Structure 1
Amino acid sequence: MVGYPAVTRSFPQLASFALALITAYAGLATAGPRSPGPAPAPQSIREAVEPEEPVLPPRPGAPFAAQTWPQRVAVRLADVSARARARDWTADPTGDASLRRKLAELVRRAGPGVAVHVADLDEGTWLFDQNGAARLNPASNQKVLTAVAALELLGPDYRFETRLVRDGDALVLIGDGDPSLQLQGLHALASKALAAEALAGVRRIVIDERAFSPERVGPGYEEPPGPGPSYLAPSGALSLSFNTVETTVRTDGKAVHVEVTPASEHVTVVNKARPLRGRALEVTSTCEGGRTVLTVTGAAKRKPITVRRRICDPGKFAGEAFAAVLHELGGPLLPVESGAASAHAREVATLVSPPLSQILASALKYSNNFTSEQVVRTLGRRMSGAPGSWDNGRAALQAFWRAAGNDPRELQPENGSGLSLRGRVSARGLVRVLALARDEGGAAASIVPALAGAGGEGTLRLRMPGGHGRVRGKTGTIGGVSALSGIAATPDGRRALGFSVLINGKNLAMPRSRRLQDRIVLALLEHLDAG
């Protein structure tokens, strides 16, 4: 087994792990409109180092650190497969008949289009199954598969590195797919460049986005007319602030003031708003000539109103923001262009992200689509050795799904987030993926504190208050789809049940779907309490 730090199975301890760091991601580029929250600061910036020699294919039995990324992923897939085979996934021979009857009655009342699977994650037995193998749209429950696959195959301590190098007369900003890069990180890189006196003779800034393929919009991300919401943010190897901007609009009664953060020449503001009176204020984001255009219309109020909108070109947005920061700190105002660093470029500074286990909290607690797409493309890049794309990202998810002991016919992913009308997954497959979180020392254990907590935080904060500290899960909602998958545990965390409830179709209104999901989970808690 691949060695990771040991993780206790104590559910309360896992649930409280790193919550202060996790909440920094609240409400940004989510699966639906949410109020924005503070952004996380990058963890560290390290001194420039000489480029390492290329890593040769390891000899049989070579140390893990000497392996290429595709080889590392292959080793970890084999480990996942071995752990999955240790679970037989047979019916629980001592199962509670009253629990089965209760769940069966709840599902019967709901009508067609419902799949439910419940299993004892430690014993490897299932307690209840209704259409568990059926392929249904999981909505944002797809993020569970993406997150567990990334934790197992990349590792919970995996970090993204945004590099700044000097190449002739250019400063080159090299993206690594970091979903957590914020304005503070660009300040750190610019400050390091100034301190290292790396700007002499520099005439331009080049953005290097070769870590990902050129596609920016994930498959399944439909483009309906609208304001350009943050949950439809594009993806890119060099991305900033979840590829969104905060637009704050206010008036002093005479003029309307619009402030955009982060500031970037990539973004143009067209202010058509009027003070105080008129139709409702609206801020729309459109792509025009390769730039992001924010159009503000309607009536501005004295009380500031802030909305978050997506941008169009991630690399140009981040590059222009870096140019503005560098100029603000006393450097020259430099033009920005796309390109690539040469093999002779000299390192100036490297910005290191927080660990993957923390970054995933934005995708799981608050359903951030952007984070999941960045992660699935990174997963595809590391497994294939090619630039990260949705094609090799889906291939990585399918390989992981099979390694976790699932039928490949039960998975049809379209992207990493679940914002899709065509994505399909089975309820029992999601539960088997979650079972990896119960393995002692397994990397997937890091997913537990990153999930939303019933009656606590994230998208479950207003649901199942009686399950506080005992239920962790991921919600999923799009038109005609409601889903909930997660883990319910005893108060001491010694026993845990995995569950997945996928509801497709319009026979159940959204409030009724959520009530059904909550009743199923509360029934599981009663079963656990009965011993």
Structure 2
Amino acid sequence: MPPPTFTPGARHRHRKPKQFGPGARRALVLAMAVPVTSAVLAAPSAFAADEKTTATTPEATPDTNESLNSADQAIAANLNTRVVDERLGGNVSGVVLDAKSDGTVWDHNGATALMPASNTKLATATAALTVLGPNHRFQTKAVYGDGTLTLVGGGDRTLTSADLAEMTKDAVAGLKAAGRTSVKVAVDDSLFPEPTLAPGWNDGYYLDSVAPVRALVVDGHAVTDTSIDAGQVFAKQLATHGITVDGDVTRRTEEVTDVPVARHKSAKLSDIVHHMIKVSDNNAAETLLRMTALRAGQPATFEGGTAVVRDVLSRRYGVSLENFEMYDGSGLSRANRIPARTLAEILDLLTEKRYEHRLRSIRDGLPVAGEAGSTLGPEWGRFDDANSSCAVGKVHAKTGTLTGATALSGLTQGKDGRWKVFSFVENGSTANGNAIKDAMDGLAATVNGCWT
């Protein structure tokens, strides 16, 4: 069945200072006028070990549910029972908010910071769309100077060989008009510094989970040097048009005297974010983190990017960063620690009309339970058991999976017709991975109200 249409509500009445514990509500949105580029950005905190969680006093379910309607009371009661499912282990954080009122429906250790895996991408996407804007496009260009045709990377992870072929046609036309039939080919990926590992990464991530982060790549090739690889593709295409390429592809920095001969612009950032969230693209996330940092006047590094994310979330939106530790853009870092409540607060922004234009691609990109081709598709065994299958088409959520960490955070329309924002994160369960996901899907089905 098709998912219900999501329409953001009117601007929320207020954002009261958030109190952790019973009756918690969202933080006050701080002044929107503060430019990210001029903010004083705080550095990330020290490296966290794999076993580390930032724990707070365990929280009980809010109040006695006297302020909740009957549907929310049922959600809270059922979650209290189901969160102790042995498949989830004993280290679970969870929060459910009512999108219209900002009220807390349920909270179980919601301020405890756990490893969020790819739920980290929600923070990365929010910052990228805010700093760069949803209509931003990334540019790749070719310039000519000193007998060399240089392909200049602009942080477009979506560049394809077909795009490069169109650039090649323009470049060849310019070369032949100038009477040149041979050139050297170089690449300029100096927009980003030399790739490094983020805290919490290991060499085993290359090239299976992520490629070294560079400013130039074609067809998403998973190779160690994506820039030289792109230059080689470019050189081969030049050769098919009768241009002789002298020597191997090298690195070169664009000079101010170089003449532009071709350029390509990516799709809008909103489209890139939509895809990144839908399939949980690690490479796209890490590239966006760097491009966001550059636009905000920070270095194109893990540290620069995560500092901007923190600034955007806290200063621009009033999202709580208590116990928040972020070291990369993709969520691959095993040092990341984000409370379920913070993830829920980020998602709650998607329910506000005033942010719809800016952040809508995150909301629309959330995988839908049972949606083939997404991380909640049947090919991943999601929402396919007796308890959760009722929620197919009804739950929109970002997944997160690392060894020892599973997360599911998103939106669903409850039985009362009101949209609920939820986040569930577990760390350290020893159960089978599929069993953990089934238990998580069951929690989401509980919030939807179809599993009663």
Regarding TM over 0.5, the answer is yes
Match of 1:99 among 61, 75, 80: 75
Matching residue's letter, 1:144 = L
Deviation at 1:150, TM superposition (A): 1.3
TM-score norm. by structure 1 comes to: 0.67
Match of 1:408, SS? coil
Matching residue's letter, 1:208 = D
Match of 1:410, SS? coil
Give per-residue Cα distances to partners, 1:78-108, cap 9 Å, x unaligned: xxxxxxxxxxxx9883353332121111113
Match of 1:203, SS? strand
Matches within 5 A, 1:122-141: 122-141=100-119
Matching residue's letter, 2:68 = T
Distance 1:519 1:206, change over 3 A: same
Match of 1:373, SS? helix
Check whether the contact 1:453–1:472 (CA below 8 A) recurs between aligned residues.
yes
Match of 1:460, SS? coil
The match for 1:86 is none
Matches within 5 A, 1:221-260: 221-224=201-204, 229-242=207-220, 244=221
Distance 1:505 1:402, change over 3 A: same
Q: Unpaired segments of 5 or more residues in structure 1?
A: 1-9, 16-69, 78-89, 245-309
Give per-residue Cα distances to partners, 1:255-287, cap 9 Å, x unaligned: xxxxxxxxxxxxxxxxxxxxxxxxxxxxxxxxx
The match for 2:241 is 329
Deviation at 1:74, TM superposition (A): 5.6
Give the Cα separation in 1 of the matches to 2:75 and 2:411. 17
The match for 1:108 is 84
Match of 1:476, SS? strand
The match for 2:143 is 165
Give the Cα separation in 2 of the matches to 1:130 and 1:372. 29
Match of 1:486 among 381, 406, 410: 410
Question: Alignment identity in percent?
Answer: 28
Distance 1:468 1:483, change over 3 A: same
Give the Cα separation in 2 of the matches to 1:491 and 1:340. 59
The match for 1:432 is 345
The match for 1:460 is 376
The match for 1:304 is none
Match of 2:163 among 168, 171, 185: 185
Deviation at 1:359, TM superposition (A): 1.4
Match of 1:330, SS? coil
The match for 2:448 is 525
Superposition RMSD in Å: 2.9
Deviation at 1:385, TM superposition (A): 4.9
Give the Cα separation in 1 of the matches to 2:350 and 2:246. 48
The match for 1:31 is none
Give the Cα separation in 1 of the matches to 2:152 and 2:215. 8
Q: Unpaired segments of 5 or more residues in structure 2?
A: 9-33, 42-61, 384-388
The match for 1:12 is 5
TM-score norm. by structure 2 comes to: 0.78
Give the Cα separation in 1 of the matches to 2:350 and 2:121. 15
The total of aligned residue pairs comes to 384
Check whether the contact 2:201–2:334 (CA below 8 A) recurs between aligned residues.
no
Give the Cα separation in 2 of the matches to 1:320 and 1:432. 45
Matches within 5 A, 1:83-482: 93-95=67-69, 96-110=72-86, 111-197=89-175, 200-201=179-180, 203-224=183-204, 229-242=207-220, 244=221, 310-335=222-247, 336-386=249-299, 388-403=300-315, 404-442=317-355, 443-457=358-372, 458-462=374-378, 463-464=382-383, 465-482=389-406
Matching residue's letter, 2:390 = G
Q: Name segments (4+ residues, structure 1) moved above 6 Å.
A: none
Give per-residue Cα distances to partners, 1:159-206, cap 9 Å, x unaligned: 110011122322121111111011111111111112233664463122
Give the Cα separation in 1 of the matches to 2:166 and 2:250. 21
Give the Cα separation in 2 of the matches to 1:220 and 1:359. 26
Deviation at 1:520, TM superposition (A): 1.4
Give the Cα separation in 2 of the matches to 1:322 and 1:218. 30
Matching residue's letter, 1:325 = Q
Match of 2:424 among 479, 487, 501: 501
